[in-house]
Amino acid sequence: MMQISVDPANNKHSLINVMHRFIAAANNMDETIMVPSLLRDVPLEERAAGELDPNVNNNNNDDQNPEPTCTNKQRDMYEHYLLLKSIKNDMEWGLLKREMSSGASFLEMAVKQQEEQQQQHAVENTDLENQFHYHLRGLFGVLSKLTLQADHLTNRYKREIGGGNFMR
């Protein structure tokens, strides 16, 4: 019998590893951003700020540090920061803590929406393996994008406050 890996945490493609990378990126973001209020009114996209100021050069090594696209409804970096922190907290503490505090999180709303869709379409549980793989692929994709966004937000904060020399 063939064994792939004894310790799934050492496999870079494991769900646990992807989750750890996002949580580490979110923790780094949280430790780096000492004054989150400085993120207020700072647009999510650097290009949007550069378009307003003709003196800003938009060709600053886009190939080396590609900017993740944020199609979220956050208006500024501060709201995006809060969203990333909220998702990290939901992952660490689960949805039960949110329900106890009666606040609706992004993750909780997504779960409820999916449950409603499943009830509407009367999905049978006969094909659980396909459903599992579908959602696992989606989770990998979302966590990877969130990790990139947390890293990007951290680096943008460093540039905004003048700490660009210390980017990792």
Query: Roughly how many angstroms between the first and final C-alpha of the chain, as a whole number?
Result: 42
Mean pLDDT, rounded, of the chain: 75
**Mean pLDDT (whole number) for 140-160:** 94
* pLDDT band at residue 51 under the 50/70/90 scheme: very low
Mean pLDDT for the stretch of residues 145-152: 96
Judged against a pLDDT cut of 50, whether residue 114 lies above it is answered with: yes
The pTM score is: 0.64
Average pLDDT of span 90-98: 77
**80 Cβ contact list (under 8 Å, min separation 6):** 39, 44, 70, 72, 74, 149, 153
Per-residue confidence band for 4, with pLDDT thresholds at 50, 70 and 90: low
Give the mean model confidence (pLDDT) for residues 140-155: 96
**Residue 100 burial (CB count, 10 A):** 9
Burial class (CB in 10 A: 0-12, 13-18, 19+), 85: middle
Q: Which residue has the higher pLDDT, 33 or 71?
A: 33
69: pLDDT confidence band, cut at 50, 70 and 90? low
